[in-house]
Amino acid sequence: MSEAKHSVLFLDDDKDFLQTIQELYGTMSGQSWNIHTAPTPDRALEILEAERIDLVVVDINMPVIDGIQFLGILQRRHPKLKRAVLTGLGTPEKRAACLANGADLFMEKSPSPEGYKSIFVMLGELLQWTPKEGFEGVLRKVTLQDVIQMECLARNSSILEIYNEHVLGQIYIEEGQLVHAIGAGLLGERALQKLLSLPGGSFELAQFTPPEQKSLSGSWEMLLMNAAQALDESAAVTEEAKTAAASANELASHLEEILVCTSAGDTLVEGVPHDAPARVNWLQSMGQHAAMLGQLLPLGNFDRLETELVEGRAISLTRGGKLVLVRVSKGLGSK
Amino acid sequence: MNEFFQQWFDARSSVPGTIACAVTADGAGFCRSLDPSFPDEQMKEIVSALRSGAPFPGAESSEVRWHTWVFANGKIRSVIRPHGWTFTTAVRVNSEAAQILDPLSEEFLALNPPG
């Protein structure tokens, strides 16, 4: 038996799978992998406390604590540990969530022996992988703008990979200039704006390879400024839309009746509980009286007739040859 | 009762910005113009015209508290008490009288005449 070089822990609630993988990968590695198995996250944490583990391979769909949550726990408690996901059902959303929670590798279980060989090779690569030169750590309260600015000022070439639970994107920086952005189904400035507007997530600076196309042009300062401006405008529009929707909801909840008719009495819009003809008659009478009052006392153009009721108020007016009656219940603002 | 409303009318009819005002019941009552170019008779015609208007639809007469005719340079308000007494006033826009229209109307509605 050769000496075990690597310790690998598999976490999966399928005990048969764990037994199979232990035998299979033990044999394939020539026993150079010391394979531990855990059917539950708490057992996995016990092993991690007791043993030196190089790589944890996690299933996603598990009861109580799923693999994504467990990756989050690992990221906090064992940040230097290599982490891979091996799941029966992988979706783009789960992939993004796993990467956001610190997974180094995301793979789907295979129904064939060849597939398990590929997985073994990929896990072996991950075990061999050593971090590149430089520092690794966690920076809190750093914006993507800060990172881009840093890369551009240093005239670096890199790919800024950004991901959270919902979005995966890349920003290409070539010799200190932003040349391409893609993500969230968008391209160019719209992708850049979308990625920079993310409230949170993770990023990684990957080695630069030329993009298939260049979707950004202009100075990086201007592109960042445009993105910031678009973000401000978007926030303002959202706020305006919220206010308008709230006003509309408030109006709708208090609207008792509305009627629009021509000066000849033909109804154009009718939302009244009953007796529309009486309301048409009221509006026509209002128009005639307004003209009469205007002659008796010249106070300028007639604007409207307000009627204060015990349970609400009504506005009757004439505009562009149309007569309008709106009645609202009490509680609606005077505007 | 006439004397009661007359006293209230005398105390409230000279607010700056008032053009003319009236307190009436069934067409009779008190009327005063504060604008020399607008005689009392014309105010009486306004009161009469307002009485002849169609009733507000979908509401009992007791449910209507007041009507306000809003023009570019002023307002005409008629406040209707349940038992027929009506306070009508014409005011200039942005005047003191325009500013106190609502409290004055509330006061008129809340009057509690003897007997």
pLDDT at A335: 47
B85: DSSP letter: -
CA separation for the pair B42, B33 (Å, rounded): 9
Residues 53-112 of B with CB under 8 A from A: 53-59, 62-76, 90, 105
Residue of A nearest to B61 (CA): A309
Domains of chain B listed by start with CATH number: 2-110 (3.30.450.30)
pTM for this entry: 0.48
CA separation for the pair B12, A270 (Å, rounded): 42
Structure tokens at A115: 């597939």
CA separation for the pair A118, A290 (Å, rounded): 87
Q: Each residue of A93-106: pLDDT tens digit?
A: 888 888 888 888 88
* Segments of chain A assigned to CATH 3.40.50.2300: 6-128
The CATH class of the A253-329 domain is: alpha beta
* Segments of chain A assigned to CATH 3.30.450.30: 253-329
CA separation for the pair A261, A242 (Å, rounded): 32
Q: Each residue of A27-81: pLDDT tens digit?
A: 999 888 999 999 999 999 999 999 999 999 999 988 888 899 999 888 888 888 8
pLDDT at B67: 94
Nearest to A279 among B46, B53, B57 (CB): B57
Q: Who has greater pLDDT, B115 or B21?
A: B21
The CA distance from B26 to the nearest CA of chain A, in Å, is: 19
The CA distance from A322 to the nearest CA of chain B, in Å, is: 18
Per the CB < 8 A criterion, the answer to whether A183 and A168 are in contact is: yes
CA separation for the pair A8, A83 (Å, rounded): 10
List chain A residues with pLDDT less than 50.
1-2, 334-335
Which of the residues A256, A295, A297, A305 would you substitute to probe the B interface, choosing the one with the greatest number of B C-beta atoms within 10 Å? A297
pLDDT at A155: 85
Q: Give the amino acid at A131.
A: P
Q: Who has greater pLDDT, B55 or A303?
A: A303
Sign of CA dihedral A291, A296, A298, A299: negative
Q: Cα–Cα–Cα angle for B1, B7, B8, nearest 5°?
A: 95
Structure tokens at A54: 């190089």
Tell me, what's the ipTM?
0.93
Per the CB < 8 A criterion, the answer to whether A263 and A287 are in contact is: yes
In B, which residues are within 8 Å of A267 by CB distance?
A: none
Classified as helix, coil or strand, B81 is coil
Q: Each residue of B62-109: pLDDT tens digit?
A: 789 999 999 999 999 999 988 789 999 999 999 999 999 999 999 999
Q: Who has greater pLDDT, B27 or B105?
A: B105
Q: How many CB pairs under 8 A join A and B?
A: 95
Residue of A nearest to B38 (CA): A297
pLDDT at A225: 87
Pairing of strands A158-163, A168-174: antiparallel
The CATH class of the A6-128 domain is: alpha beta
Which residues from A are below 8 Å from B when comparing CB atoms? 257, 272-275, 278-279, 281-282, 285-286, 289-290, 292-294, 296-297, 299-311, 314, 327
Structure tokens at A271: 């939302």
- Cβ pair B63:A307 closer than 8 A: no
* Full 3-state SS string of B9-76: HHHHCCCCCEEEEEEEECCEEEEEECCCCCCHHHHHHHHHHHHCCCCCCCCCHHHEEEEEEEECCEEE
pLDDT at B55: 82
Q: Cα–Cα–Cα angle for B90, B91, B95, nearest 5°?
A: 175
